Amino acid sequence: MTVYLHEEDLPAGVLAPGPVAVDTETMGLITPRDRLCVVQISDGKGDEHLVRFGPGSDYAAPNLRAVLADPQRLKLYHFARFDLAAIRHYLGVVAAPVYCTKTASRLVRTYTDRHGLKDLIRELLGAEISKQQQSSDWGAPELSDAQKEYAASDVRYLHACREKLDERLAREGRTALAQACFDFLPSRAELDLAGWPEVDIFAHV
């Protein structure tokens, strides 16, 4: 298992076919203001790839964009809504089709309100990850080893989590409902970018 750091784009041919786990690190939570710094991606075969973007980047990244925009390749996220918006805003692609482990967790783990990735991995897989670097400076000139490990761990377990969550979705008869939610997430991200971040446009008031 190796963590690779790349500058400005993903090298060609480093990912196996099939679903990829994807995550992003930004300078903050307001997408148009807080630039995209890192995109993490893993094919689930044991390695993680981190693509770092510097200040003033044009985010051309043709190889990474091709993978993210590939309609034949499922993208796995935890809280896809945020990552989809960041990728759409900075890389200019809709990174779908989508599977969101946080959405799936909320549909089947209704016995808890703890749907963070750390809690999900602990329950489903019996593994522990650290979230200490979550709020660190992702725009720093050099990423620390702790930052790189944190970023990698955010995609390392998503394939295995999906397998466990799919079993529970099927057991509870919510597979179709989950898929409908996943299909809507790119539009939810577009609503965020267009100015409706915390407004439920389906609400009565």
The answer as to whether 110 is a domain residue is: yes
Kindly give the residue spans of alpha helices, DSSP state H, lying in 92-156. 101-108, 117-125, 145-156
Average pLDDT over residues 126-141: 86
- Domain assignment present for residue 25? The answer is yes
**Whole-number pLDDT of residue 135:** 77
User: What are the pLDDT digits (tens) for 63-112?
Assistant: 999 999 999 999 999 999 999 999 999 999 999 999 999 999 999 999 99
Residue 61 placed within a domain:
yes
Total number of domains constituting the chain: 1
Q: Looking at the domain assignment, is residue 202 inside a domain?
A: no
pLDDT tens, position by position, 15-47:
999 999 999 999 999 999 999 999 999 999 999
In a domain, 166, yes or no: yes
pLDDT band at 170 (very low <50, low <70, confident <90, very high): very high
Which residues does 110 contact at the CB level (< 8 Å), separation at least 6? none
Q: pLDDT tens digit string along 147-163? A: 999 999 999 999 999 99
All residues at 6 or more sequence positions from 168 whose CB lies less than 8 Å from its CB, including other chains: 104, 108, 109
Whichever domain contains 168, its CATH number is 3.30.420.10
Q: What is the mean pLDDT of residues 161-168?
A: 98
For the cut 90, the answer to whether the pLDDT of residue 134 exceeds it is: no
- Is residue 165 classed as helix, strand or coil in its secondary structure? helix
Instruction: Look up the domain containing 55 and give its range.
Output: 3-194
What was the pLDDT predicted at 193? 97
Written as six digits, the tokens of 54 are 């510097």
Please tell me which residue, 155 or 1, carries the higher pLDDT value: 155
Encode pLDDT of 177-199 as tens digits.
999 999 999 999 999 999 999 88
In-domain check, residue 200? no
- Are 190 and 81 in contact, with CB atoms under 8 Å apart? no
One-letter-per-residue 3-state SS of 21-45: EEEEEECCCCCCCCCEEEEEEECCC
- Identify whether 205 is part of a domain: no
Using pLDDT thresholds of 50, 70 and 90, give the confidence band for residue 130.
confident
Write the DSSP symbol of residue 114.
Answer: -
User: Could you tell me if residue 50 is inside a domain?
Assistant: yes
